[in-house]
Structure 1
Amino acid sequence: MHSLVFFVPDSHLDKVKAVLFAKGAGRIGDYDSCCWQVLGQGQFKPCEGSQPFIGVKGQLETLSEWRVEMVCADDLIKEVVATLKVVHPYEEVAYSVYKLVDL
């Protein structure tokens, strides 16, 4: 199993989660659509050459974003991450993938 962590604006939270759940992420035993999420503050500055979804090139931007964590089976993680990159509104998606160990 893997843990997928990503950051998403409120406007796309439910859509992104629904698509990833449909791909098989968020399944734990006999439960599906499992995740943990918390609202926080993101920061970035779009550089020259960027096409920002939010913000203005050259200006520091701060905004509310959700940190979402969900598990994903080994055989699905590459497809789930590829799907995240397609369905997410940001040009550069901030995400992390962690390999989980069963103890």
Structure 2
Amino acid sequence: MYKLVFFVPVSHLEAVKDAVFAAGAGRQGEYEHCCWQTLGYGQFKPGSTAQPYIGESGKLEVVPEYRVEMVCEASALKNVVHALRRAHPYEEPAFDVTETVDGL
């Protein structure tokens, strides 16, 4: 089992969650669409050749974004990350995947 964490602007929260749920993330036992989310602020400064969804090249941006966490089976992980990248509006979505410990 893995834990997926990603950051997404408010405008695309539900669309990205729907995409990764449809690809197999967020399933725990007899439950589906499971996640935890919290609102915060991300910042970035696009480079000169970037094509940012939000902001302008060379200008620091501070954007309200959600941090979303959910579990994912190893067998679905590749499809889930692909779905995340397709549904996310950013050129370079911020996310991480961590293997969880089972049986402690």
Q: TM-score normalised by the shorter chain: which range applies?
A: over 0.9
Give structure 1 stretches of 5+ with no counterpart. Answer: none
TM-score (norm 2): 0.97
Q: Give 1:71 deviation, angstroms.
A: 0.4
TM-score (norm 1): 0.98
Q: Give 1:23 deviation, angstroms.
A: 1.2
Matches within 5 A, 1:1-103: 1-102=1-102, 103=104
For residues 23 and 91 of structure 1, the distance between their equivalents in structure 2, rounded to whole angstroms, comes to: 20
Give structure 2 stretches of 5+ with no counterpart. Answer: none
Count of matched residue pairs: 103
The aligned amino acid for 1:71 is V
Question: Structure 1, residues 26-82: CA drift from partner, whole Å, max 9, x if none?
Answer: 000000000000000100000011000001110000010000001000111111001
Structure 1 stretches of 4+ moved >6 Å = none
Identity of aligned residues (%): 57
Q: Give 1:6 deviation, angstroms.
A: 0.3
Q: Give 1:83 deviation, angstroms.
A: 1.1
For residues 32 and 43 of structure 1, the distance between their equivalents in structure 2, rounded to whole angstroms, comes to: 31
Q: CA RMSD in A?
A: 0.6
Q: Secondary structure at the match of 1:5?
A: strand
